[in-house]
Amino acid sequence: QAPGAAAQLFDIEKVAEGCYLAAARAQAMINCNAAIFVNSQDVLVVDSHSKPSAAAALIAQIKKDVTPLPVRYVVNSHFHWDHMQGNSAYKTGGKVEIVASEPTKQLMAQEGQKRLKAALEEAPKQADALRARMSKATSGEEKAFCQEQIRQIEAYRAEMRGAAIELPTIAFAKSHVIKDRAHDLHVEFHGRAHTAGDVVVFCPQKRVVATGDMIHGFLPYAGDAFPHSWAKTIDSVAKLGFDKVLPGHGPVHQNRQRMTHLRNYIEEVVARVAEGKKAGKSVAELQKAITVASVKSLQADGYSKYLADNLYKFFPNFGPAQPLQAGVNTNIEHFYNNLERG
């Protein structure tokens, strides 16, 4: 996909009047969802995906399927690559403010370029693994899948080689409010969670909140997390007056059920990891002890099936044989390593 290409990478769903979720379709180099808020004269978009061409594709879809109004604001919910590397696509069409918390701007400046470099260095290994898999493929369907994944990885490398990280133009400590005739948009920092700087975008009139990766439809990624703080931060967000959640990945949450499941999962696994670490147990020992079947929060209301279904839908490279336990094991390792962060 060339920069500026308008391939349909998202499925746009109307959630409330003037509020939409652009759900990212599966890609080898994953894109995040985007939340879209249509104001009276312009548009606010939450998160900008893994590359400028993906953001350009969404801009084209917004103009075609949602509104001809220009994007005036982009919010980076946090500093991870798949939520902010497309920022530059929005800087080519008039004045656009990029909004983030102060910690997120700092982390983008400190880590963004380094992590992009590391990802570009890792990409050939991913492509080689797919070539090896393709050589052993027993069906034309699997061979075609591998070929397409390799194409996407190579296109990402070509596009992002030499790319620069576009930093926020507005950074705030606690909140930044955009008042409009259509509605108010509250960009708020409620505490450390998935990263040091996660923010949500809350629209009180439409009772909708966009949450980035603090609250989403996958098992949480905790490599940069604050394990003890995360559930408490979700509790703070839960005090807001919303009904629907626009997550950073996965489908719209039509109520608070899945948010509560995620919060309870984080709290339960962090507590078990902390107890085990205090008792002198290793990561490997805890990974044997903390199984999917033993985590009570995963058994509530079909939560483990919901997570597994989303995993296979949005990460087709894993295939249906990929166990949910692998994700739990990664969470255990990250929580174990990050317990002292808070």
Does the pLDDT of residue 3 top 60, yes or no?
Answer: no
Cα→Cα distances 337→80, 118, 282, Å: 19, 21, 11
* pLDDT confidence band for 317 (50 / 70 / 90): low
Place of tokens 């061979």: 143
Q: What is the DSSP code string of 117-171?
A: HHHHHHHHHHHHHHHHHHHH--SHHHHHHHHHHHHHHHHHHHHHTT--PPPPSEE
* pLDDT confidence band for 5 (50 / 70 / 90): very low
With residues binned 3-state (H G I as helix, E B as strand, rest as coil), the percentages for the chain, rounded to 5, are 50, 20, 35
Strand 71-75 with 10-16, pairing: unpaired
Does the pLDDT of residue 21 top 80, yes or no?
Answer: yes
Q: 38 pairs with which residues across the strands?
A: 43
Residues 103-121 have a mean pLDDT of 97
Instruction: Identify the pLDDT of residue 92.
Output: 80
Tokens of 229: 């703080």
**Across all residues in the chain, what is the average pLDDT?**
94
Does the pLDDT of residue 23 top 60, yes or no?
Answer: yes
Instruction: Identify the pLDDT of residue 322.
Output: 56
pTM of this prediction?
Answer: 0.94
Largest alpha-carbon pair distance within the chain? 59
Task: Tell whether the torsion through CA atoms of 236, 239, 243 and 292 is positive or negative.
Answer: positive
Tokens of 161: 């080689």
Instruction: Identify the pLDDT of residue 6.
Output: 47
> Which three-class secondary structure state does DSSP give residue 185?
strand
- Residue 253 DSSP symbol: B
Does the pLDDT of residue 316 top 70, yes or no?
Answer: no
Instruction: Identify the pLDDT of residue 310.
Output: 86
Tokens of 309: 């279904």
Q: What is the CA radius of gyration of the chain?
A: 20
**Lowest-pLDDT choice from 104-108, 276-280, 315-319, 333-337:** 315-319
Instruction: Identify the pLDDT of residue 318.
Output: 54
pLDDT in tens, 165-219: 999 999 999 999 999 999 999 999 999 999 999 999 999 999 999 999 999 999 9
**Lowest-pLDDT choice from 48-52, 218-222, 272-276, 309-313:** 309-313
pLDDT in tens, 259-301: 999 999 999 999 999 999 999 999 999 999 999 999 999 999 9
Strand 10-16 with 19-24, pairing: antiparallel
